[in-house]
A = this chain, B = another copy of it.
Amino acid sequence: MHAGLRASGPKADLALVIADEPASAAGVFTKNVMAAAPVAFCKAALAASPSGTARAVLVNAGQANAATGAAGAADCEASAAALKAALPAASAPGDILLLSTGVIGRRIKLDALAAALPALVSGAGPGPADAHHAAVAITTTDTVSKAAALEVELAPGGPTVRVGGMAKGSGMIHPDMATMLAVLTTDAAVAPPLWASILRAGAAASFNQITVDGDTSTNDTVIGLASGKAAGCGLMTSEADPGVATLTAAVTALLQGLAKAIAWDGEGATCLVEVAVAGAESDADARQVAKAVVGSSLVKAAIFGGDPNWGRIACAAGYAGVPFPPDALNITLGPIALMSAGQPLAFDEAAASAYLKGTAAVHGTVAVGIEVGPGPGAGLAWGCDLSYEYVTINAEYTT
């Protein structure tokens, strides 16, 4: 709903996710030293719940409540108290989680927030329109809202569970906007420690593999709630339980969908860039190489310019911090092989440039393929190109 928290405009700016009964809760948070007050609040809340569950996630856009000191922490406590008054079911320790996005250094407008909560609680519903409104409310300078859902059988003929999520983010940091938030829900039955492990694995393969500008914000938060309401779904408590691998794959796929939506909506982007690395010693090594390439300003600028610049790709792979034999490096751009065994190929430069320009024309996906050896490790990373518009957005905006 619109609570009047944003500096301007009638856009919705407050969203609430309610679990009808206590849901297994987990979170993944920014590692920034200057982490915002709601990040500290969530960490404390997750630790405070004896059962590892939560009931409500409140998300505001407009003020990041970062660099706000003791006053920011007090604002979190006051926000939670106001929500508890409007939603008495969420009264146990750790039941309420708070996420904020908006301008760093600004405190939340507590009066407007408290005044809006009763209507927000009474208006909450389970329909697709409700979910869409929430996904819109948490955006800041995003050009589109991001939400996804899927349904999967945990085993053939076995219980079917649903996973849904929403996210916001368009630069790793916006013009003073802090930044990447996501809320994930599922009706699978999964014990809190295992749920936390699944969420971490999914985030590692998705949100931790996107970069728009290399900046890690003060507010990055992913929250997951698992209700256990799926028919016939027995409680999963260990990695070895049936269905856990499928649920992990489903969560990862959903988070990757949201992560790609964020990268695609990167500031000034004309295309999504997907870098796939294979042949590394481990998946972690492959992901590290993929992220270095997709984060290289020179690679990003070359893609914007329609330049099939294999040298920059090779160089970025080389400085990723992962050792590999230089003469094992193979690089492809879409369907075109650029480099083999560590040395450039004579490729059709016009066709390669046409591939880049044609992809950008439809705001599509540029695919970069990299092999670094014969190992089993593979990984993906996503980003976007570097355009004039990125500089415009980040230079011409004034605090």
Residues of A in contact with B (beta carbons under 8 Å apart): 30-35, 66-69, 103-105, 171, 173, 176, 178, 213-218, 295-298, 301-302, 304-312, 314-320, 322-324, 326-327, 329, 339, 341-344, 349, 353, 386-388, 390-392, 394-399
Q: How close is A48's CB to chain B, nearest CB, in angstroms?
A: 22
Contact B353 A305 (CB under 8 A): no
Contact B386 A298 (CB under 8 A): no
Q: How close is A227's CB to chain B, nearest CB, in angstroms?
A: 34
Contacts of A399 in B (CB 8 A): 307-311, 349
Contacts of A353 in B (CB 8 A): 398
Contact A305 B394 (CB under 8 A): yes
Known: A215-B296, A296-B215, A305-B398. A105 touches B31 (CB 8 A): no
Copies of this polypeptide in the complex: 2
13 more contacts with CB within 8 A, not counting A213-B298, A304-B395, are: A33-B319, A34-B315, A35-B318, A104-B315, A105-B310, A105-B344, A173-B298, A216-B319, A297-B390, A304-B391, A308-B399, A386-B395, A387-B391
Q: How close is A275's CB to chain B, nearest CB, in angstroms?
A: 15
A30 to B396, CA, bound (A): 36
Give A173's nearest chain B residue, CB to CB: B298
Give A320's nearest chain B residue, CB to CB: B33
**Contact among B214, B305, B324 with A395 in the assembled complex (CB-CB below 8 Å):** B305
Residue of A297, A315, A344, A396 ringed by the most chain B CB atoms within 10 A: A315
Contacts of A215 in B (CB 8 A): 296-298, 312, 315-316, 319
A322 to B33, CA, bound (A): 8
Q: How close is A47's CB to chain B, nearest CB, in angstroms?
A: 19
